[in-house]
Amino acid sequence: MAAIVILEHELQRFVQLPYMVYSLAERWRRAGHEVRVHHGLAAAPAADLAVVNIDLTVIPGAYRALLARYPRAVNGRVADVSKSRFSADLLDRYSDWIGPVIVKTEANYGGKPEALLRGIARREGLSSDIPEGPVADAYPVYAGLRAVPEAVWSTAGLVVERFLPERDASGHYYSRHWVFLGDRDRSIRLRSRAPIIKSGDALGREEVPVPAELRAWREKLGFDFGKFDYVLHGGRYVLLDVNRTPSLPAYADAEVAASQDVLAAGLAALLR
């Protein structure tokens, strides 16, 4: 049996979010492993395996140094998940793209994790290493580059991408989601009438195979655990988002529980 530590930022001790790693940890404990959650840099416990659950787009340098102390660190190579680190569809105002575009934050999940922790630091009167940046509740879509507001181009922390949706002949939109841990994974496709799909609003979901392109991206980016969102557009796969701190989906049912059972078994490959 292994000693496992889930490492989080000091300020995450003040929040309770449905991180997927907590669900996996319950299963690891039932299997006989010792699992602890540790916040911050001080007095970090020894462990056979550290799991990075630092919910920031860029992991601060001091936390990276802490990870180096462990013999194995899940996602220890994934220090930065900014859009510009993986997106192949970023544009500038002078690009020759003539199709629709979408405006996103450079930071993961609309910059909300950083905003949450910055707010906690102010509330608690604590010093913070959380960078400032824009926060977005939604990612707006525009007909083309000329329609993008000037404020977008002048705001640091916003990026513009080609908008490349996956659609069918009836006009439905699709998004694909691949979640993985070690050598275990699950992959689904959601269907919706809306171009920006949220799991709770999907009209249906189905299992789909994981394309070789996605596995190559995972290898290149160094992920051991996480969730990739992508679509199939014009015959090519488009990577939309990468997340090293995924949460459980809004819907909780037997299928989700079965998926967690599958993923939890991926721990063995990481311990090897």
- Return the closest-CA partner of residue 50 out of 13, 7, 20: 7
Q: What is the pLDDT of residue 224?
A: 98
What is residue 146's predicted lDDT score, i.e. its pLDDT?
A: 97
Query: How far is it, in rounded angstroms, from Cα 109 to Cα 175?
Result: 16
Q: What percent of the chain has pLDDT over 70?
A: 97
Q: Tell me what the pLDDT averaged over the chain comes to.
A: 95
Q: pLDDT tens for residues 56-104?
A: 999 999 999 999 999 999 999 999 999 999 999 999 999 999 999 999 9
pLDDT for position 197 = 67
Lowest mean pLDDT of 95-99, 105-109, 163-167, 193-197, name the range.
193-197
pLDDT-derived band at 204 (thresholds 50, 70, 90) equals confident
Spatial neighbors of 164 by CB under 8 A, at least 6 apart, are: 89, 231, 233, 234, 238
What average pLDDT does the segment 254-261 reach?
A: 88
83 Cβ contact partners less than 8 Å away, ≥ 6 residues apart: 90, 104, 105, 106, 159, 161
The average pLDDT across 149-178 equals 96
- Closest among 68, 78, 103 to 245, alpha carbons compared: 78
* pLDDT score at 57: 98
The DSSP-derived string for 178-238 is EEEETTEEEEEEEEESSSS--GGG-SEEEE-PPPHHHHHHHHHHT-SEEEEEEEEETTEEE
pTM equals 0.95
| Residue-wise pLDDT tens digits, 17-44 | 999 999 999 999 999 999 999 999 999 9
Q: Is the pLDDT of residue 200 over 80?
A: no
Q: Between the CA of residue 120 and those of 10, 14, 63, 107, 209, what are the distances in Å?
A: 11, 7, 19, 18, 41
Percent of the chain with pLDDT over 90: 88
In the chain the domains, ranked by start, together with CATH numbers, are: 3-79 (3.40.50)
Determine contact, residues 39/18, Cβ cutoff 8 Å.
no
